Amino acid sequence: MSQIQNSNQYQIQWFPGHMAKTLRMMEEEIRNVDACLVLLDARIPLSSLNPEIEKIAAHKPRLYILNKADLADPAVTAAWVRYFHAAEAGCVAISAKQKGGTAAVKTAIDAELTELFAKRERRGMAGAKTALMLCGIPNVGKSTFINTFAGSARAKAADRPGVTRGKQWVTAGKYDLLDMPGVLWKKFDSPKIASNLAFIGSIKDDILDGEELAMNLLDEVRAHYPAKVAERYALTPETLALPPYELMEAIAKKRGMLIRGGEADTARAAVMLLDEFRASKWGRISLEVPPEREA
Ligand SMILES: Nc1nc2c(ncn2[C@@H]2O[C@H](COP(=O)(O)OP(=O)(O)OP(=O)(O)O)[C@@H](O)[C@H]2O)c(=O)[nH]1
Ligand SMILES: [Mg+2]
């Protein structure tokens, strides 16, 4: 047998070539904007914080937007906002699909840019437009945010990662918004970050093992929100306590998802579980809580 092996053959390719291109494009465009709106997923604020974006935006004012707050546990989201504020970072939690968040974001952006506005005032350029770059991982809601902010569907948005393929400027009142494709980074610090990103749908599902993903998601969520999982799938305490794969089999059977011979169709159940979690059918769930601050 050959000793030669391609060490990369089992590595998940979540960093395709177009993402490297996006990072280069962001490095170019950062010079043309006044600030960055860094969109994070409210269910996993730290796992969705891209260190490459942090590097590129390091010298710009930026506002962290915890998006999809409607899907996250409200108490945990409030704790995250406090966490960012304690680090003196501008942060608001919103749902980009709803109009209500726009005003909060405008106020917070203007707070980040008071220096710039004062400078413009002194130079008699108070009417100049403010250019903002939308940054974030795939599927976090950048294009949706722009559409709500602008009040009309200007940027293409859809329920899968990798929808936006190139940059796009959208004008909304005194703001110019730059939509960007979503981008991940090459090497995650922990497998936890990778699975969190996969759970929420920021890594393309077709490169992942759906059954393993759904099983791990079930295991993770039942540890923190057992009642929500039990309620959604009408599980007894005994069933809820089964090992993860058996739990998935039990749920498949309950839903009548069977293959020939009466066995559980776990492949179908996995798709259903991920879909239902992502559509918040399990309820409002956060997958990450703020780290303890050092005393
Ligand atoms: N529940 C909920 N769904 C949202 C929210 N914001 C966006 N979405 C949904 O998330 C999906 C992705 O939204 P997009 O705006 O396309 O995300 P994007 O960041 O532009 O994605 P890429 O262009 O692929 O990087 C869509 O199905 C949106 O409807 C939100 O605040 N709450
Ligand atoms: Mg987009």
Find residue 275's DSSP bridge partners.
none
pLDDT digit string, tens, across residues 136-148: 999 999 999 999 9
For ligand 1, atom 23: residue with the closest CA: 164
Contacts for 245 with CB less than 8 Å, ≥ 6 apart: 215, 266
Ligand 1 centre to CA of 180 (Å) is 13
Distance from C-alpha of 130 to C-alpha of 173, rounded to nearest angstrom: 10
Nearest ligand 1 atom, CA 156: 16
Q: What is the pLDDT of residues 167-186, one digit of tens each?
A: 999 999 999 999 999 999 99
Ligand 1 close to Cβ of residue 182 (< 6 A): yes
**Any idea which ligand is nearest the CA of 48?**
1
Q: Which atom number of ligand 1 is nearest to the Cα of residue 98? A: 31
Token representation of residue 228:
């929500």
Structure token pair of residue 264: 């559980």
Structure tokens at 16: 């395709």
Question: Over the stretch 39-78, which tens digit does the pLDDT of each residue have?
Answer: 999 999 999 999 999 999 999 999 999 999 999 999 999 9
Ligand 1 centroid to residue 275 C-alpha, Å: 15
Query: Which stretches in the chain have pLDDT values below 70?
Result: 1-12, 293-295
Ligand 1 atom nearest residue 140's Cα: 19
| Long-range contacts at 270-273 (CB < 8 A, ≥ 24 apart) | 270/210, 270/211, 270/213, 270/214, 270/215, 271/210, 271/214, 273/214, 273/217, 273/218, 273/248
In this structure, the residue with its CA closest to atom 8 of ligand 1 is 141
Report the C-alpha gap between 46 and 192 in whole angstroms.
11
How far is ligand 1, taken at its centre, from the CA of residue 247, in Å? 30
How far does residue 9's CA lie from ligand 1's centre (Å)? 31
Burial (CB count <10 Å: 0-12, 13-18, 19+), residue 3: exposed
- What pLDDT is stored for residue 111 in this prediction? 94
The pLDDT of residue 12 is 57
Mean pLDDT of the chain: 93
Closest CA to ligand 1's atom 30: 68
For 177-211, b/e burial (b = at least 16 CB within 10 A) is bbbbbbbbbeebeeeebbbbbbbbbbbbeeebebb
Q: Where are the alpha helices (H) located in the chain, listed in sequence order? A: 17-29, 51-56, 74-86, 101-112, 114-122, 142-150, 191-199, 210-224, 226-232, 237-240, 244-254, 266-278
